[in-house]
Amino acid sequence: MAHAAGGAAAAGAIAAQAAAVARAVKASGAIVNMEPEDFLSIVRRCEKPVVVVASGGSFRKHYRYLVGHKGFVFHTKSGEQLMLPGKAEVVHAKTIWIPG
């Protein structure tokens, strides 16, 4: 029972971090778009990365990724799933919308 409560608490903490990234994006409006390889380089530099992932596409499946690092929000879009490092906490979102 304690294990389930701990899992729920961890999921809540991850969701809170994802919400914080979303609020930061709204507040700053600054999102850095980059190629998937460069995005992975940023994720590897993060001590405890929280990566938000969503998939979509009507005809061709694609994946969108967000991560916050040093006050910036980094975004990439890929036709294939990225191999994220094991230290990354992954938050699955229904959608990721990037303005403009």
User: In this structure, what CATH number is given to the domain that contains residue 39?
Assistant: 3.30.720.90
Number of independent structural domains in the chain: 1
Establish if 99 belongs to a structural domain.
Answer: no
Could you give the CA distance from residue 1 to residue 19 in angstroms, rounded to a whole number? 27
Whether the CB-CB separation of 87 and 45 falls below 8 Å is answered with: no
Q: Please tell me the predicted confidence (pLDDT) of residue 28.
A: 55
Q: Please tell me the predicted confidence (pLDDT) of residue 71.
A: 86
Provide the 10 A C-beta neighbour count for residue 56.
Answer: 14
Establish if 62 belongs to a structural domain.
Answer: yes
| Domain with 63 in it | 2-92
Establish if 26 belongs to a structural domain.
Answer: yes
Establish if 98 belongs to a structural domain.
Answer: no
Q: What is the pLDDT of residues 34-66, one digit of tens each?
A: 999 999 999 999 999 999 999 998 889 999 999
Q: What is the pLDDT of residues 7-40, one digit of tens each?
A: 677 777 777 777 776 666 565 567 899 999 999 9
Q: Please tell me the predicted confidence (pLDDT) of residue 15.
A: 77
**Residue/partner pairs of 20-23 with CB below 8 Å, 24 or more apart:** 20/68, 21/50, 21/52, 21/66, 21/67, 21/68, 21/73, 22/52
Establish if 100 belongs to a structural domain.
Answer: no
Q: Which amino acid is at 23?
A: R
Supply the pTM of this predicted model: 0.71
Could you give the CA distance from residue 85 to residue 4 in angstroms, rounded to a whole number? 25
Establish if 8 belongs to a structural domain.
Answer: yes
